[in-house]
């Protein structure tokens, strides 16, 4: 079943607050082979002017997916998760995500397009602090394969 094009423009409530930790940053950095000491050593990060250790450039996906989950389970969108393939991903960092940050992910379905029997859904997500500072914008394009 194709994704319902009528849901384009729909925004979902923010995900629960996510606290970025030193331990999760270190775990994720090791998992992608990131070796910058600023992921692991607060003293190095502070020397560079950061408040604490900073996350690798793609770490934000962990938090963005919590926002995207709301769109994925929206019955009116009709996204069949079992037929989902990740098409594109992008991040814009207004500053690095930093240990101690508490952010929420708010997702909007930006576009729904059908092509070749597949549905392409563009999801835009903002990671925002409690003070309203937008730290990172992410965009995911997911492809829902046709039957």
List contacts with another protein (CB under 8 A): 24, 27-28, 30-36, 38-39, 48-51, 54-58, 61-62, 65, 85-93, 95-96, 139, 141
CB 63 within 8 A of CB 18: yes
Q: Pick the closer one to another protein by CB: 31 or 43.
A: 31
Task: Tell me how far, at minimum, the Cβ of 84 lies from another protein, in Å.
Answer: 9
Task: Tell me how far, at minimum, the Cβ of 4 lies from another protein, in Å.
Answer: 24
The 3 state secondary structure assigned to 86-140 is EEEEEEEECCCCECCCEEEEEEEEEEEEEECCEEEEEEEEEEEECCCCEEEEEEE
Tokens at 5, concatenated: 């094009």
Q: Pick the closer one to another protein by CB: 36 or 110.
A: 36
Q: Pick the closer one to another protein by CB: 6 or 145.
A: 145
Task: Tell me how far, at minimum, the Cβ of 15 lies from another protein, in Å.
Answer: 13
Q: Pick the closer one to another protein by CB: 49 or 75.
A: 49
CB 144 within 8 A of CB 116: no
CB 64 within 8 A of CB 121: no
């Amino acid at each position: 079943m194709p994704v319902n094009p009528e849901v384009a423009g729909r925004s979902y409530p923010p995900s629960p607050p996510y606290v970025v930790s030193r331990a999760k940053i270190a775990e994720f950095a090791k998992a992608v082979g990131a070796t910058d000491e600023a992921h692991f050593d607060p003293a190095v990060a502070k020397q560079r002017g950061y408040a604490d250790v900073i996350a690798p450039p793609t770490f934000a996906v962990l938090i963005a997916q919590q926002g995207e989950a709301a769109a994925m389970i929206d019955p009116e969108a009709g996204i069949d998760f079992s037929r989902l393939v990740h098409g594109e991903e992008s991040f814009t960092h207004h500053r690095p995500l930093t240990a101690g940050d508490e952010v929420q992910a708010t997702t909007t379905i930006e576009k729904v397009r059908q092509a070749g029997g597949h549905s392409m859904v563009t999801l835009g997500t903002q990671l925002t602090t409690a003070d309203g500072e937008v730290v990172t914008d992410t965009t995911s394009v997911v492809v829902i394969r046709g039957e």
